[in-house]
Amino acid sequence: MKKYFLFDLDGTITDTGEGIMKSAQYALTAFGFPQQTEAQLRRFVGPPLQGSFETFYGLSPVDAAQAVEKYRERYRDKGVFESPLYPGMAGFLERLRGNAVLCLATSKPLVFARQILSLRGVEQYFTCLSGAELDGARTDKAEVIAYARELLENPPKEQMVMVGDRRQDVLGAKAQGVESIGVLYGYSDPGELWEAGATHLVSSVEELEALCFSLL
């Protein structure tokens, strides 16, 4: 039985792809890169930003850190507002909150995550918020999950489950000995969540709600 549900934000609770992709392009343009395809920019949704700039565009750690700052120039002014909830999400979170403990577990800086949850009217459903710091601390999903568990006063791992749309969510959960639910309506590539070893897979918010309640 599960009592503690950890939720990723981007691509899981909110469809934040537009804001992230436009802000990534804004940063890449500043570094002289041409307009990228949607498929190329989708890679920024979910994983830590600095690592994405380094891995996909060959930026040095110093340049990648500057790219992150450039990204945030646009994101804090516009990107946070390009973050609608997935249809049915608010009602689902409200119903689940009446039967379980919810905690946000995101690699996004908490200052932005909290703003988005508040903007969309769902912050009150979460007992705790675990995320990254602006200085780059705690961006690894395993660290985020470990901190969430600490905030929850270290409940038994078998009572916890991580919900997310990218391999980092699944692998971070596995590293912490926690089961995972992979949501296919987010920004994962075909087969990504299955290959990462997600405990469960769902294709819609409706399926996610049915599964979560079956695990209680």
Q: Quick check: is 8 catalytic?
A: yes
Concatenating the DSSP letter of every residue in 70-120 gives HHHHHHHHTGGGS-PBPTTHHHHHHHHHTTSEEEEEEEEEHHHHHHHHHHT
Strand-pairing partners, residue 105, are 130
The two counts, helices (H) then strands (E), for the chain are 10, 6
Residues 26-36: b if buried by 16+ CB within 10 A, e if exposed: bbbeeeeeeeb
Task: Tokens 């596995």: give the residue.
Answer: 174
Q: What's the angle, vertex CA 79, arms to CA 77 and CA 183, rounded to 5? A: 155
The one catalytic residue in 8, 15, 165, 169 is: 8
Residue 60: phi, psi to the nearest 5?
Answer: -70, 160
| Beta carbons of 131 and 108 less than 8 angstroms apart | yes
Secondary structure of residue 168 in the 3-state scheme: helix
Residue 45: phi, psi to the nearest 5?
Answer: -80, 105
Tell me which residues are annotated as active site. Answer: 8
